[in-house]
Structure 1
Amino acid sequence: MSFSPQSRIWIYQSNRKFSAAEESTILKKLEAFTNQWKAHGNELLAKAEIRYGFFIILTVDESQANVTGCSIDSSVRLIKEIEQEYNVDLFNRFNIAYKLNNEVIVNNKEDFETLVNIKQITPNTIVFNNMVQTLAELETKWEVPFQNSWHSTVFAHLL
């Protein structure tokens, strides 16, 4: 099934990496959800995936039916259930993910700031921009060098 580059996405970043068993169970739960996800009775063309063991990504192709507030609410409820069931934090926007030696690492804002300060995070360190909103942006603007990200404006005083 192919999704339009303009498909809407939502990224939920975990504060810790899911185990392989957790990831498998969560994916089954997400798949069951996306297979029956509806907006005002219309089936949504949707999919879910987990990338790097940290990121739950929901995708909806609105060329078939538009997402509604109610359908977004139902997805948020599911993510909150996963959060409680697996004791992870999926809504904390102050947790920042980056890559170090091709490993994804998630730190809180204070620890990340320290790493920028001591030059462990460089202008070329890959960071994750979870604010992207479309599939096209996910492919081109999600994993970006720190210097090209919103992070660099927040932590500019440290560079």
Structure 2
Amino acid sequence: MFVDYSSIPDDAKVWIYPSSRKFYPNEIEEIEEKVKNFIENWRADDENFKASYKFLYNRFIVLVADDEASPLKNTEIDASVSFILELQNDYEVELLDKMNVCFKQGEFVQYKDLKDFKKLLKNKAVTAKTIIFDNLITTKQDFDNFWEIPIEESWYRRFL
């Protein structure tokens, strides 16, 4: 069942999908509608299942699922990945590559592969204080508190 994000408990599961490019304004409403429809039908027969999403910076799709009362099965997780693959193909973006890095430069969100990101660090184009998005987070509580943090507080600090 689709619910408001604020009603999802802190221990809910989170999946973060960063787009390789910013979505265009004419794509955003359509994508949000597709995401909401997916969530509404994800486990439509299970009244105990609650899920929501966030669409942030015109670039990140975040799925959130409270499956405490009724745990997700592998086939249901596979269904969410298949849905993300469809979006990836429909909009010609990369959403599943976890080896890319997203960080803020001023008001803009940058998306770089890890090799290029390491070069930026070496050349001091980004610093320990640069805000990075930790897309490996797995719970709502961590997402709300530790998704956007300085590089020096993230696992990326090993590259400093």
Same fold by TM-score greater than 0.5: yes
Structure 1 residue runs without a partner (length 5+): none
Greater mean alpha carbon deviation, residues 8-17 or residues 107-116: 107-116
Q: Is residue 87 from structure 1 mapped to residue 66 from structure 2 by the alignment? A: no
Query: How many residues align structurally?
Result: 154
Cα distance in 2 for partners of 1:89, 1:111 equals 17
Shift of 1:38: 1.4
Q: Which residue of 2 aligns with 1:77?
A: 82
Cα distance in 1 for partners of 2:77, 2:26 equals 27
The answer as to whether partners of 1:10 and 1:59 remain within 8 angstroms in 2 is: yes
Equivalent position SS for 2:88: helix
Task: Specify the code of the residue in structure 1 equivalent to 2:92.
Answer: N
Equivalent position SS for 1:60: strand
Greater mean alpha carbon deviation, residues 99-108 or residues 75-84: 99-108
Q: CA RMSD in A?
A: 1.4
Q: Which residue of 2 aligns with 1:35?
A: 40
Cα distance in 1 for partners of 2:28, 2:140 equals 22
Equivalent position SS for 2:76: helix
Greater mean alpha carbon deviation, residues 5-14 or residues 107-116: 107-116
Structure 2 residue runs without a partner (length 5+): none
Cα distance in 1 for partners of 2:54, 2:110 equals 19
TM-score in terms of structure 1 length: 0.91
Q: Which contiguous aligned blocks of 4+ residues in structure 1 show a shift greater than 4 angstroms?
A: none
Cα distance in 2 for partners of 1:143, 1:117 equals 21
Q: Which residue of 2 aligns with 1:57?
A: 62
Match of 1:17 among 19, 22, 27: 22
Q: Is residue 140 from structure 1 mapped to residue 151 from structure 2 by the alignment? A: no
The answer as to whether partners of 1:15 and 1:88 remain within 8 angstroms in 2 is: yes
